[in-house]
Amino acid sequence: MPVDGRLARGAATRRLVLRRAVDVASVDGLDGLSLGRLATELELSKSGVFALFGSKEELQLATIEAALEIFRSHVVTPSLDVAPGLPRLRAICENWLDYSERRIFPGGCFFFNVGAEFDARPGRVHDAVAVASGSFAEFIRESAREAVALGHIEADPEVLAFELHALGRAANADAVLNGGTQAYALARRAIGARLS
């Protein structure tokens, strides 16, 4: 199979830029991203980075996409290997807390940060963040519905999913803001009590 070396080169630097971009954005936000800063840190030219994405907004959207892939590989995919119902629900929570606590993104959960950043602004970036965040929320809801349908737990699945999602995000927020791991312990106790 013929591989165009030119395209391959572009895709490689694109990945290089995006790997840095998700880390920067998780700390300084998608607005804190700057072509010049990325270019300097990666020893590329600003115009080269710019040409790679065409506009800052496209860079932001590509960064969201890249972060989404990382998020899925750490949280969603491993959870799908676990049996549906309560076991999967537990796995989702634990994988998410682990993903936050291990600082897969240096600023904590990427989507928590950019969600808060763009929640009240219109535009394509807001929409992309909302879709990403919403699809994970729906994943929890669906898993909660399964757990209820299988008789593993008695609850309103909508409320249960909302609670679990809330506890995880609060742990991320408190832990990143204040340091320490106490918030994760609190969340694990609350989640454990809720899923027993």
Residues that bind DNA (CB under 7 A): 2-7, 9-14, 33-37, 39, 43-52, 55-57
- Indicate which single residue of 65, 69, 138, 158 sits in contact with a copy of itself (rule: CB under 8 A): 158
CB of 88 to a copy of itself, least distance (A): 21
Q: Please say which residue, 56 or 72, places its beta carbon nearer to DNA.
A: 56
Give the number of other CB atoms < 10 A from CB of residue 31: 14
CA distances from residue 68 to 82, 115, 182 in whole angstroms, order as listed: 21, 13, 27
20 binds a copy of itself (CB under 8 A): no
Q: Which amino acid is at 137?
A: A
Please give the size of the binding site for a copy of itself, defined by CB under 8 A. 46
- How far is C-alpha 85 from the chain's CA centre? 23
Candidates 51, 83, 137, 150; binder of a copy of itself (CB under 8 A) is: 137
Distance CA 100, CA 186 (A): 14
Token representation of residue 196? 């027993």
Q: For a copy of itself, which is the closer residue by CB, 82 or 186?
A: 186
